[in-house]
């Protein structure tokens, strides 16, 4: 239990890392937008400043400045700042500005009252910052406007009129500008590198937020633990996505199986692990016939059925694979056999089973393809002939695997419920939804079909090697050893 938190942190991290491309895209978009906005939209701002020295008049005695005098000067600075920010002072500053600058020039930095021909006091105040330098008796006035000369002039105007106001109002002390404000031609804002970084960080944050929102609304099956808790059925196999073989021009449908040369080793291993689990699941049933299905088309039923058949055959079992998906037959393509006659031919008594079964398509593995497409596949599968055929074949094989159409689309698979030990339901990682799984489970239960377990297929790696989804394998007790076991089986 102790590491549950750690685990969820890890899974959150992997969830985020798994969508690195979204983070990258939004980081670039954010940085680009901030850069463009800073460079082309935001106005340039220029800063200038002047410093004034505040003297306490008591020190005129000629003696050295003592500590008390300094303290008095410091508190005088605060008083002066308050006075200088008063409306009357700023009003005067506005008038001086109007004398020096045409209204059009001032408009860029201040609000102008066109009727009264005055500069808005608050807009002047917004351009100014006054403070004492490091808590000394030096008063610093900083102006930021959209024109470098205007910033300097604003400082100088205040420095000019300040002494008059202060002496008249405060009486005590005196103030003197240390030097005139200079014009600084380099803008202080916008800070393009800083804004770009902020834009990038904002993009990353939005991306992470989106990832969590998407994940919250994601109802696809990813978590085997959740699946197991919900239906109390084991997940007998967890098959990762393998890269597909490239379609060559003249080849209709090239599919990878365990037998393909470049088939990833770790997936071969997970099929072997699944084989062990399947054998366990079937061990309590006297029938060794089972169906493979899934809620929707293209979730990997046929691929998985073929690979299970191969891996069982490799463990020295006599195996028959029946392609019962007469609506979308593929097994004859996978094993490159003909499909002129097959399952449908046997059931409709047009051919004998021995004539239709392709022997040893792989060592120990026989294949019964679909045969020609009948008008009523559903009825054929549920017919007495099918039951008889399976009964008859079950004596000849250790395992019979039936590849079927998707449960949520057609009910064909349910037709064989009486003849089989049960069904394994494939769910496609991050694609099949819980609702679809639920619907399939209902169909299976209504048909009195024995549900043997789930197979999670097409699991995508998130992060470095490990997966975001939680595995429940080890909880069945027979999950972690299969590697060893299957190796023994192979010998």
Ligand X SMILES: Nc1ncnc2c1ncn2[C@@H]1O[C@H](COP(=O)(O)OP(=O)(O)O)[C@@H](O)[C@H]1O
Instruction: Tell me the two tokens of residue 133.
Output: 């330098």
The listed partner (ligand X, Mg ion, none) that binds 319, CB under 5 to 8 Å by sort, is none
The listed partner (Mg ion, ligand X, none) that binds 458, CB under 5 to 8 Å by sort, is ligand X
Closer to ligand X by CB, 200 or 367: give it: 367
Closest CB 323 distance from ligand X, rounded Å: 10
Closest CB 304 distance from ligand X, rounded Å: 6
Instruction: Tell me the two tokens of residue 74.
Output: 């410091």
The listed partner (Mg ion, ligand X, none) that binds 297, CB under 5 to 8 Å by sort, is ligand X
Closest CB 365 distance from ligand X, rounded Å: 17
Closer to ligand X by CB, 171 or 465: give it: 465
Phi, psi of 188 (to 5 degrees): -95, -15
Closest CB 385 distance from ligand X, rounded Å: 24
The listed partner (ligand X, Mg ion, none) that binds 175, CB under 5 to 8 Å by sort, is none
CB-based closest residue to Mg ion: 302
Closest CB 462 distance from ligand X, rounded Å: 15
Instruction: Tell me the two tokens of residue 345.
Output: 């031919």
CA distance 149 to 136: 28
Based on the number of CB atoms within 10 Å of its own CB, is 17 exposed (0-12), middle (13-18) or buried (19 or more)? middle
The listed partner (Mg ion, ligand X, none) that binds 244, CB under 5 to 8 Å by sort, is ligand X
Helix-then-strand count for the chain, H and E? 18, 14
Based on the number of CB atoms within 10 Å of its own CB, is 359 exposed (0-12), middle (13-18) or buried (19 or more)? exposed
Based on the number of CB atoms within 10 Å of its own CB, is 445 exposed (0-12), middle (13-18) or buried (19 or more)? exposed
Binding site for ligand X (CB under 6 A): 239, 241-242, 244, 255, 294, 297-303, 330, 457-458
Closer to ligand X by CB, 127 or 278: give it: 278
The number of angstroms, rounded, from the C-alpha of 402 to the middle of its chain's C-alpha atoms is: 37
The listed partner (ligand X, Mg ion, none) that binds 299, CB under 5 to 8 Å by sort, is ligand X
Closest CB 296 distance from ligand X, rounded Å: 8
Indicate the SS3 state at residue 184. Answer: coil
Closer to ligand X by CB, 303 or 386: give it: 303
Residue 441: CB partners within 8 Å, gap ≥ 6? 231, 425, 451
Based on the number of CB atoms within 10 Å of its own CB, is 246 exposed (0-12), middle (13-18) or buried (19 or more)? exposed
CA distance 79 to 147: 30
Based on the number of CB atoms within 10 Å of its own CB, is 127 exposed (0-12), middle (13-18) or buried (19 or more)? buried
Closer to ligand X by CB, 50 or 270: give it: 270
Closer to ligand X by CB, 230 or 255: give it: 255
CA distances from 351 to 304, 316, 382, 397 (A): 28, 29, 19, 20
Closest CB 390 distance from ligand X, rounded Å: 20
Closer to Mg ion by CB, 52 or 326: give it: 326
The listed partner (ligand X, Mg ion, none) that binds 363, CB under 5 to 8 Å by sort, is none
Of 398, 472, 483, 397, give the one whose Cα is nearest residue 222: 472
Closer to ligand X by CB, 158 or 239: give it: 239
Closest CB 296 distance from Mg ion, rounded Å: 11
Closer to Mg ion by CB, 152 or 330: give it: 330
Closest CB 343 distance from ligand X, rounded Å: 16
Closest CB 213 distance from ligand X, rounded Å: 28
Task: Output the CA torsion sign for 304, 316, 381, 377.
Answer: positive
Closer to ligand X by CB, 87 or 254: give it: 254
Secondary structure (DSSP) of 322-337:
EE--TTS--HHHHTT-
Closest CB 299 distance from Mg ion, rounded Å: 9
Buried b (16+ CB within 10 A) or exposed e, 22-32: bbeebbebbbe
Closest CB 239 distance from ligand X, rounded Å: 5
Closer to ligand X by CB, 109 or 304: give it: 304
Binding site for Mg ion (CB under 5 A): 301-302, 325
Q: Bridge partners of 54?
A: 175
Indicate the SS3 state at residue 370. Answer: coil
Pairing of strands 46-55, 138-145: antiparallel
Closer to Mg ion by CB, 302 or 467: give it: 302
Residue 94: CB partners within 8 Å, gap ≥ 6? 110, 118, 119, 120, 121, 124
The listed partner (Mg ion, ligand X, none) that binds 294, CB under 5 to 8 Å by sort, is ligand X
């Amino acid at each position: 239990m102790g590491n549950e938190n750690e685990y969820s942190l890890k899974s959150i991290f992997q969830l985020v890392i798994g969508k690195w491309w979204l983070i990258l895209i939004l980081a670039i978009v954010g940085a680009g937008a901030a850069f463009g906005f800073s460079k082309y939209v935001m106005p340039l701002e220029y800063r200038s400043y002047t410093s004034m020295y505040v003297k306490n008049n008591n020190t005129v005695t000629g003696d050295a400045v003592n500590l008390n005098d300094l303290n008095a000067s410091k508190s005088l600075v605060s008083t002066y700042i308050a006075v200088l920010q008063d409306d009357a002072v700023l009003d005067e500053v506005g008038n001086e500005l109007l004398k020096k600058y045409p209204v059009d020039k001032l408009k860029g930095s201040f609000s102008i009252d066109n009727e009264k021909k005055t500069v808005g006091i608050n807009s002047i105040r917004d351009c100014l910052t006054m403070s004492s330098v490091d808590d000394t008796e030096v008063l610093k006035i900083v102006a930021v406007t959209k024109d470098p000369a205007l910033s300097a002039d604003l400082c100088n105007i205040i420095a000019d009129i300040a002494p008059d106001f202060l002496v008249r109002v405060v009486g005590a002390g005196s103030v003197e500008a240390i030097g005139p404000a200079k014009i600084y031609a380099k803008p202080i804002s916008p800070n393009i590198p800083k804004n770009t970084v902020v834009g990038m960080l904002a993009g990353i944050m939005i991306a992470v937020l989106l990832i969590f929102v998407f994940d919250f609304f994601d109802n696809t099956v990813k978590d085997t633990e959740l699946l197991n808790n919900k239906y109390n059925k084991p997940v007998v196999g967890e098959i990762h996505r393998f890269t597909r073989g490239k379609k060559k021009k003249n080849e209709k449908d090239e599919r990878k199986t365990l037998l393909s040369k470049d088939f990833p080793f770790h997936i071969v291993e997970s099929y072997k692990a699944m084989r062990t689990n399947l054998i366990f699941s079937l061990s309590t049933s006297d029938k060794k016939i089972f169906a493979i299905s899934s809620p929707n088309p293209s979730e990997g039923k046929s691929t998985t059925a073929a690979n299970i058949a191969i891996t069982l055959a490799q463990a020295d079992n006599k195996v028959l694979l029946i392609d019962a998906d007469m609506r979308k037959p593929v097994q004859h393509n996978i094993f490159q056999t003909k499909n002129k006659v097959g399952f449908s031919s046997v059931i409709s008594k047009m051919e004998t089973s021995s004539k239709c079964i392709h022997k040893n398509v792989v060592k120990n593995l026989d294949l019964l393809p679909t045969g020609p497409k009948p008008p009523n596949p559903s009825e054929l599968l549920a017919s007495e002939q099918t039951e008889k055929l399976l009964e008859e074949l079950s004596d000849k094989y250790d395992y019979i695997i039936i590849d079927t159409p998707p449960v949520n689309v057609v009910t064909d698979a349910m037709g064989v419920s009486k003849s089989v030990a049960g069904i394994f339901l494939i769910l496609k990682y991050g694609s099949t939804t819980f609702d679809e799984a639920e619907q399939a489970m209902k169909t299976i239960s209504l048909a009195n079909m024995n549900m043997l377990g789930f197979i999670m297929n097409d699991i995508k790696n998130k992060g470095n090697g490990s997966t975001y989804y939680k595995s429940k394998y080890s909880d069945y007790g027979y999950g972690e050893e299969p590697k060893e076991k299957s190796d023994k089986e192979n010998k």
